[in-house]
Amino acid sequence: MSIITIRPIKHAEGRGGDEDMLFGFRVYFENVTEKELKQLRWALTFHVANYAHKIGRAKPLGFGSVQLQVEQMYRRQINRESGEWSLEPLELEEYPIESTGAIAALKAMVNWEQRP
């Protein structure tokens, strides 16, 4: 049996407290429609400040809560003749999620401030 330990990486421009414990990552995608891209961004961020994904242990106690923020989105354009590529900033409106029973249950689970 192996034990894996994960420690947060401190951001170079930390603000002190728990806020300076950040992980950074990139999400790459291809062949997605604008609607699918909006849905992906919603699934990552929920567009609500007090919602957080739950990972790890002790989730009922609020531990393992992770908020994801999209700092910037880019569309990579590749010139088929030269092979060069460029990045252009991509601005998307928020994707409105229909209120269903499953979405209501998800929102109840991910709400950090009003957790059951």
Residue 7 lies in a domain: no
Q: What is the pTM of this model?
A: 0.68
Model confidence over 33-52: pLDDT tens digits? 988 988 888 888 888 888 88
| Alpha-carbon distance values, 104 to 65, 97, 98, 114 (Å) | 18, 10, 10, 13
pLDDT at 104: 87
- Which parts of the chain have pLDDT scores under 50? 1-2, 4, 9, 11-12, 14-16
Give the structural domain span for 41: 17-110
Residue 101 lies in a domain: yes
Number of domain units in the chain: 1
pLDDT at 19: 54
Residue 22 lies in a domain: yes
Residue 12 lies in a domain: no
Residue 96 lies in a domain: yes
